[in-house]
Amino acid sequence: MNSPATSDALKPEEVQSEAMEHEENQPETDQTEGPRYEEDFMSGPVQTSSAEHEQTADHDVKIETRDLNVFYDSFHAIKSVDMEIRNQEITALIGPSGCGKSTLLRCLNRMNDEIPGARVEGEVLIDGKSIYSNETDLVSLRRRVGQVFQQPNPFPMSIYDNVAYGPRLQRRLSRDEADEIVERSLRGAALWDEVKDDLRKSALDLSGGQQQRLCIARCLAVEPEVLLMDEPCSALDPSATFRIEELMLELKERYAIVIVTHNMYQASRVSDRTGFFLLGELVEFDMTTRIFEDPQDDRTDAYIRGRFG
């Protein structure tokens, strides 16, 4: 029988808030405006793999936004966005700094509720049901829609306890059950082989790339349906970035994934659909191949070619 979480434990929404705070306290690693891919790669038109991407056109819609608007006090940060996020796909959100990508992402698990002065209007439907209705249980919403941040934010505890943390808040676990969840989640995040002999080691002693995969494992442990990733690789080196990208491609078989990235090559390599934002407006949303090879809006074209930021 399920038992409630003990009263001295953090609730999952507090875990999320703590994670947010932790993220906000981190130093910014990249303040560059606009596309940053030229820093890491040779510039030039981005090549995408059409065959791989176009097979994914028919997956079910998991999340739908309808006339979604976000205000920070009187500032209109997201302007009437209609967008569909599909199962078994990676959806990339791109656009210059300050265009509203993180704000949009936070609407999808109601993390904007935690921000004073933030107001959301319009609808976000998950599996056809509004998540902004009064009946929505925020704890269960944030379990279903997990989030990974720009800076890896493991808790100051062992690798094992980081992964078991969320499930232990949901119910009392036997040792065997916890072992099974920890192994499954670490395997799912492609970290198991590297840490299986060191599960009691502090998570803070892992490398940045390992910490980011641990944070992904922590999300997977509570069996989410959607993964939100806000610039998950911007603090990582190219090889750690490559591992996370490979992992995303594996994970999309089971989840709907939304990634915010400033790296055009990353968007084109991993995503199936891409949305280009500018000043809070969703300028263009389409298959990734179309966005990068035949954008319909001049502003999208200028952005992906690095002509403005």
Ligand X SMILES: Nc1ncnc2c1ncn2[C@@H]1O[C@H](COP(=O)(O)OP(=O)(O)OP(=O)(O)O)[C@@H](O)[C@H]1O
For residue 224, the partner it binds in Mg ion, ligand X, none, with Cβ less than 5 to 8 A by kind, is none
Q: Which is nearer to ligand X, 34 or 208 (CB)?
A: 34
State yes or no: residue 112 binds Mg ion (CB under 5 A): no
188 is a contact residue toward ligand X (CB under 6 A) = no
**Residue 295 binding partner per list ligand X, Mg ion, none, with a CB distance cut-off of 5 to 8 Å that depends on partner kind:** none
Examine residue 68 and tell whether it contacts ligand X (CB under 6 A).
no
Q: How far is CA 222 from CA 111, 133, 238, in A?
A: 17, 23, 29
Distance of CA 308 to the CA centre of its chain: 25
100 binds, among Mg ion, ligand X, none (CB under 5 to 8 A by kind): ligand X
Instruction: Write the burial class of residue 1 (CB in 10 Å: 0-12 exposed, 13-18 middle, 19+ buried).
Output: exposed
Q: Which is nearer to Mg ion, 24 or 135 (CB)?
A: 24
Reference 60, options 127, 141, 135; nearest CA is 127
Among 99, 181, 226, 258, binds ligand X (CB under 6 A): 99
Distance, in Å, from the CA atom of 282 to the CA atom of 104, rounded to the nearest integer, reads 10
**With b meaning 16 or more CB within 10 Å and e meaning fewer, what string describes 192-207?**
beebeeebeeebeebe
CB-based closest residue to Mg ion? 102
Question: For ligand X, which residue of 16, 91, 103, 210 counts as binding (CB under 6 A)?
Answer: 103
Among 16, 48, 102, 170, binds Mg ion (CB under 5 A): 102
Helix (H, G, I), strand (E, B) or coil at 37: helix
Question: In the window 114-143, what residues touch ligand X (CB under 6 A)?
Answer: 115, 117
C-beta separation of 78 from 100 below 8 A: yes
The interface with ligand X within residues 189-248 (CB under 6 A) comprises none
The crossing angle, in degrees rounded to 10, of helices 208-221 and 175-188 is: 130
Structural Rg of the chain based on CA atoms:
19
Q: Which stretch binds ligand X (CB under 6 A): 96-104, 124-132, 153-161, 184-192?
A: 96-104
Asked if 289 interacts with ligand X (CB under 6 A), we say no
Nearest approach in angstroms of CB 75 to ligand X is 6
Q: CB under 5 to 8 A by kind: which of ligand X, Mg ion, none does 16 bind?
A: none
- What distance in Å separates the CA atoms of residue 35 and residue 101, rounded to the nearest whole number? 13
Binding stretches for Mg ion (CB under 5 A): 102
Binding stretches for ligand X (CB under 6 A): 72, 75, 77, 95, 97-103, 115, 117
